[in-house]
Amino acid sequence: MARCYVLASSSPRRRELLAKVGLSFIVDAADIDETARSSETPHDLVRRLAAQKAIVVGTRHPQCLIIGSDTVVAYQGRIFGKPRSMAHAQDMLRQLSDHRHQVFTAVAIWDPLWQRGYVQVDCTAITFHALSSSDIDAYLGTEEPWDKAGAYAIQGRAGEWIKELTGDVETVIGLPTRLVKKLLSHWDKERGV
């Protein structure tokens, strides 16, 4: 019997990236509180949330392998999630302008039947060119920033702002497929598949 896979995310970008892996999967997003705990690092936050999403969705699909993911932007010790308002998005983009920041994405694989899983975190560093107020305002007039960590989509118009990128662009988009493949391969070896 073929294994079923569930992507625990409603992100269209994650769906597109997971489709590149060649898996047939269904989508079932987890509805969890994504608030960072006090003194939680970006690494620890995405790790916890990716695992939590996978475990929550696993309760609804006990025979499937669940793939969870979470992404945040970090700049000078602050965690930037999705923008809550126009002013919040403007503030984040102003801070990222002409500065280096990191994007952390965690991938979790969870098997509810075995009650076991794996999580791995990847980090990519990005430096933007200097952005003018008109650049930021024009960008905020698009649909791109509104459900993205750090208020930008690197695969969209914000890709033009990159001065330097060190790491995997898929980490910034929200699902590094090399990690998905690595974790699935590790899982298959452990299960003797």
**In contact, 89 and 145? CB cutoff 8 Å:** yes
State the Cα–Cα distance between residues 136 and 122, nearest whole angstrom.
Answer: 27
State the Cα–Cα distance between residues 97 and 101, nearest whole angstrom.
Answer: 10
Q: Range of 168's domain?
A: 5-191
Burial 86-114, CB ≥16 within 10 A → b, else e? eeebbebbebbbeeebbbbbbbbbbbbee
CB atoms within 10 A of CB 76: 8
Query: The whole model's pTM is what?
Result: 0.94
Looking at the 3D structure of the chain, how many domains does it have?
A: 1
- Ranges of residues in the chain with a pLDDT under 70 are 1-2, 192-193
State the Cα–Cα distance between residues 146 and 153, nearest whole angstrom.
Answer: 9
pLDDT of residue 87: 96
CATH number of the domain that residue 96 is part of: 3.90.950.10
pLDDT of residue 77: 87
pLDDT of residue 38: 86
pLDDT of residue 2: 63
Q: Quick: pLDDT tens for 78-90.
A: 999 999 999 999 9
State the Cα–Cα distance between residues 105 and 173, nearest whole angstrom.
Answer: 9
Helix (H, G, I), strand (E, B) or coil at 2: coil
Catalytic center residues: 70
The CA R_g of the chain, rounded to the nearest whole Å, is 17
pLDDT of residue 190: 76
pLDDT of residue 188: 82
State the Cα–Cα distance between residues 140 and 92, nearest whole angstrom.
Answer: 11
Nearest-10 crossing angle of helices 12-21, 177-191: 50
- The span from the first CA to the last CA of the chain, in angstroms, equals 12
